[in-house]
Amino acid sequence: MTNSIGLYLHVPFCKQKCAYCDFFSGRAGEADYDNYTRRLKEKIIYWGAQTTETVSSVYIGGGTPSVLGTKRLTELLSAVFAAFSVLPHAEVTVEINPESGKELEFSALKAIGMNRISVGLQSANAKELKTLGRIHTPHDAAITLQSAQRAGIENTSLDLMMGIPYQTTDSLRRSIDFCASCGVTHISSYILKIEEGTPFAAAKEKLPLPNDDEQAQLYLFAVDYLEKRGFRQYEISNFSVPGRESRHNTLYWQCGEYLGLGPSAYSFYHGRRFHYERDFQAFYENRITDDGAGGDEEEFIMLALRLKSGLDFAQYETKFQKHLSPAVMREIKRFESAGYMNTDGRRAWLTPRGCLVSNSIIAEILYHH
């Protein structure tokens, strides 16, 4: 039996670009939406003919996929189900903006196969949303979620940002309470990263951003409080009620293979990593940039340590036919003594404090690998 893969479709459009966003997306009109939908369907058909694997998860992200509207999203999902061998119980997610999400016919999308939504809330505080350049209100998010839930879509996720201007532990607590009150099963909670070339980067000195200590306090508070509200951390930035972890994203972290279609989309397929440039024409002409082999030992360690389940020593041994080096085990012990990692002899995982400095810890472990 062949292994299953994930499928990611990128929709590079937004009604308004957020001040912190570095993703490949921008404003466009209805004719652009039509043209892109047609071109993306062509690539779905092309790649469907190249693959023999079953598809275990489909994720339409962006940008803002919901700006395409019900009809175009339905067309894309229909094309996926026609071109690929999608497993009967595959997870099929669409990212949705609370404002454009209010216009969607969720019953039609569910009928075609969508069974999970991820809604970009970011904050339930109006002042924080305004600073981020978001065009929705918390009420918009609640209405969108209610519509989806009424249509029978029970697997729902909200995005929350931490470390944003004006945020306090109190306002973050209220945002988490708001998410829980909406009946969602999953929360992605990220620390704001100021990306070069964004309006936030240009205005960084003037923004009332929390310092590193305050950011750490917000993150540790969120991990603890989300757990109290029934959301268990399973990855550095992701929390869910048991059994509702994002299967698509977990596939990435477990070094599973996937295809990414759309300008700026990345793939890991048949042991190779490759991507489309941030350019419409390159995508339309199917010009692919090869990024070399993927799934090596270092990548496996790096991705495993993002997960709460951590680095499984036996799994590593089975996959690479060797033990983790004594030097790596010494590093794990060192970080455990410092309170940044836990180990039970079979696996090692980051503590919440370790998650805050995960890049440094993983870099140290890989250096000794």
Within 10 Å of residue 136's Cβ, how many Cβ atoms? 21
Please say whether the beta carbons of 73 and 100 come within 8 A.
no
H/E segment holding residue 44? helix 30-50
Residue 163 confidence (pLDDT)? 87
pLDDT digits (tens, 9 = 90+) for 330-344: 999 999 999 999 999
User: Is the separation of the CB atoms in 252 and 258 below 8 Å?
Assistant: yes
Q: Which residue, among 121, 151, 154, 158, has the nearest Cα to 137 in the 3D structure?
A: 121
Q: What are phi and psi of 270, to 5 degrees?
A: 50, 40
- Enclosing H/E stretch for 100: helix 98-101
Q: What is the pLDDT of residue 205?
A: 59
The amino acid sitting at 180 is: A
Please state, in angstroms and rounded to a whole number, the distance separating the CA atoms of residues 130 and 142.
18
The per-residue pLDDT for 18 is 45
Nearest Cα residue to 257 out of 270, 274, 275, 276: 270
- Segment holding 363, helix H or strand E: helix 358-367
Q: Which helix (H) or strand (E) holds 8?
A: strand 5-11
The bridge status of strand 311-312 relative to strand 288-293 is unpaired
Own/partner contacts of 191-196, CB < 8 Å, gap of 24 or more, are 191/161, 191/162, 191/163, 191/215, 191/218, 191/219, 191/237, 192/20, 192/161, 192/162, 192/163, 192/164, 193/20, 194/20, 195/20, 195/21, 195/22, 196/22
Q: What are the Cα distances from residue 199, in Å, to 19, 59, 118, 128, 189?
A: 5, 28, 25, 16, 22
Report the C-alpha gap between 35 and 304 in whole angstroms. Answer: 39
Point out the residues of the chain with pLDDT beneath 70: 1-2, 14-28, 193-208
All structural domains of the chain: 5-252 (3.80.30.20), 297-369 (1.10.10.920)
Cβ–Cβ under 8 Å, residues 3 and 251: no
What pLDDT is stored for residue 19 in this prediction? 47
121 neighbors 158 (Cβ within 8 angstroms) = yes
Whether the bond between 120 and the residue before it is cis, its omega within 30 degrees of 0, is no
Nearest to 240 by CA among 227, 251, 252: 227
Amino acid at 13: F
Q: What is the pTM of this model?
A: 0.92
Confidence (pLDDT) at 128: 83
